[in-house]
Amino acid sequence: MLKTTSRGLRRAIVPLLLASAACDAAVDHAAGVATMKRESFGTTPSGEAVDLVTLTNAHGVELRAMTYGAIIVSLKVPDRAGQLGDVVLGYDSLAGYVKSSPYFGAIVGRYGNRIAKGKFTLDGADYTLAVNNGPNALHGGLTGFDKVVWSADTMRTAEGVGIQFRYVSKDGEEGYPGTLTATVTYTLADASEVHIGYEATTDKATPLNLTQHSYFNLAGQGDIMSHVLTLNADRFTPVDATLIPTGELALVAGTPFDFTSPHAIGDRINADHPQIAFGGGYDHNFVLTRADTGLTLAAVLKEPTSGRVLEVRTTEPGVQFYSGNFLDGTLTGKGGVVYAHRTGLCLETQHYPDSPNQKTFPSTILRPGETYRSRTVWRFGVE
Ligand code: GLA
């Protein structure tokens, strides 16, 4: 389990939790003050109320997230002309997410990514999970953390305005052991950064691999083939035909997986390479070349037309780069836009797939008495 260096920082910043930020809604961000607004976003089919929180920083950057799935519904950042545009895929209403969503904007858990055949053994006991992706378990099961309603508090810290989501996952939920209490915090900083902080505790040992599954499109439309990507990864984890790692940490040098220098995503996405064939494009975990145990640069994504740039930093050891290969035009998203093939891409900071079954991978087991801590920062800019 990765221990982060954020503890000291957290102690220094005592978050001021507000039951509701309605009182802040009147503050005008045009005056250079970050704001928070909370409102109803509807009701789930089972009758649970869902709230939407809008965070706006001093420069007008706006993040909207809801309590269903702790989903980031929209994220508006400026292009090089200063024009704000929404850079994440999703739906206009709660109903869209409930009906069918490939994890648009969601927190994925308990285990982001795949666990082979939905089975693992922990401390001598065998566990069986729902198989929901070919022969494997994917993204926490049939009702993962992306499909539950989280509680939420808004907060104002030295870093910016934020939302702290909390979810208690019952012992045995989706086949996982232990009562797990998870908090996820999104903080919108005035420096056009989104800070994602994860913490969790458990009363029984359990695998845990939380991630954020936003689909980025920095142009706000079209496919992502001309987005230019750099990944701070000399190695990746090759997979079998069902996208389970073979256990090897393969060098990227000389392959279409070498993003150690910037490459347009479309340049090699159709290359004749067995790993590209298995993924239907890029759908692989990259092993980050880490400087230390703190926040390390994982990815830089640039969109030449808009000039928008996204830098991703994380305390996690890996990042799943998924090029939206399963988007096929059957989903219609925000503003009636049809999400065609590869019109969004994910950079899921995480531990490696199938770690509970891979002895040589960094451990994803959280034990009673330990606190899981993970941090990812998205920094937006222009070029
Ligand atoms: C992850 C997986 C992909 C796909 C998407 C959701 O990124 O690695 O294979 O399942 O989630 O569609």
Per-residue pLDDT of the chain (383 residues; tens, 9 = 90+): 433 333 333 333 333 333 333 334 333 445 589 999 999 999 999 999 999 999 999 999 999 999 999 999 999 999 999 999 999 999 999 999 999 999 999 999 999 999 999 999 999 999 999 999 999 999 999 999 999 999 999 999 999 999 999 999 999 999 999 999 999 999 999 999 999 999 999 999 999 999 999 999 999 999 999 999 999 999 999 999 999 999 999 999 999 999 999 999 999 999 999 999 999 999 999 999 987 779 999 999 999 999 999 999 999 999 999 999 999 999 999 999 999 999 999 999 999 999 999 999 999 999 999 999 999 999 999 99
Contact 249, 235 (CB under 8 A): yes
Among 71, 97, 103, which is best to mutate for testing ligand 1, by the most ligand atoms less than 8 A from CB?
103
**Which residues make beta-bridge pairs with 197?**
185, 375
Q: What separation in Å is there between the alpha carbon of 70 and the centre of ligand 1?
A: 18
CATH of the domain at 191: 2.70.98.10
C-alpha distances (whole Å) from 354 to each of 86, 164, 195, 289 are 33, 28, 26, 20
Q: What separation in Å is there between the alpha carbon of 149 and the centre of ligand 1?
A: 22
Exposure letters 47-76 (e unless 16+ CB within 10 A, then b): eeebbbbbbbbbbbbbbbbbbbbbbbbbbb
346 lines ligand 1 (CB under 6 A): yes
pLDDT score at 290: 84
Counting the structural domains of the chain, the total is: 1
146 lines ligand 1 (CB under 6 A): no
pLDDT score at 30: 52
Cα distance between residue 143 and residue 25, in whole Å: 33
61 lines ligand 1 (CB under 6 A): no
Residues forming the active site: 213, 348
Cα distance between residue 236 and residue 230, in whole Å: 14
Q: What separation in Å is there between the alpha carbon of 35 and the centre of ligand 1?
A: 33
Identify the H or E element spanning 342. Answer: none
Nearest Cα residue to atom 8 of ligand 1: 283
Q: What separation in Å is there between the alpha carbon of 1 and the centre of ligand 1?
A: 23
Which residue range forms the structural domain that includes residue 165?
2-382
pTM beyond 0.85: yes
Cα distance between residue 228 and residue 300, in whole Å: 8
